[in-house]
Amino acid sequence: MFQSELAIMLYVENINDALAFWQGIGFVGQKIDDNSATIKPAADSQVTLNLYAKAFIREVSPEVVDNVPSLMFQANEFDALHAKVIAVSDAVGEIVIAPGLGRVFNFADPDGHYYAVCEVK
């Protein structure tokens, strides 16, 4: 049966740059080796993002290297997070109101993958 924990794989050009970016906006994580790292939004999170070097994925599973998930994070310190992301990314969207979601913004990581964040109170 499925467990309550969830791991999502993200394929990145540079493990060190990706890890520094995610840690820069508050994620906790560690580099596993030259080809992988793990990060979580918080130490006790049940969601883990596994970062893998695209060069490695091209060798072991080339059919998935270009797969990009669409992820939406939830944040309770929404404005502080928006400011933190602005400090480390050149690609951060304005805060807008989305029907059914409330306040949201998006941002891109160093590889150009976009993510959304919605406010939770």
CATH code for the domain in which residue 88 is found? 3.10.180.10
Number of domains in the chain: 1
Domain boundaries, position 53: 6-119
Domain presence at residue 65: yes
Domain presence at residue 110: yes
Task: Write the CB contacts of 68 (distance below 8 Å, at least 6 apart in sequence).
Answer: 11, 113
CA 58 to CA 53: how far, in whole Å?
A: 9
Domain presence at residue 28: yes
Domain presence at residue 1: no
- Tens-digit pLDDT profile for the chain (121 aa)? 767 888 999 999 999 999 999 999 999 999 999 999 999 999 999 999 999 999 999 999 999 999 888 899 999 999 999 999 999 998 999 999 999 899 999 999 999 999 999 999 8
Q: Do residues 57 and 15 make contact, with C-beta atoms less than 8 angstroms apart? A: no
Find, among 18, 13, 24, 26, the residue nearest to 73 by Cα.
26
Domain presence at residue 107: yes
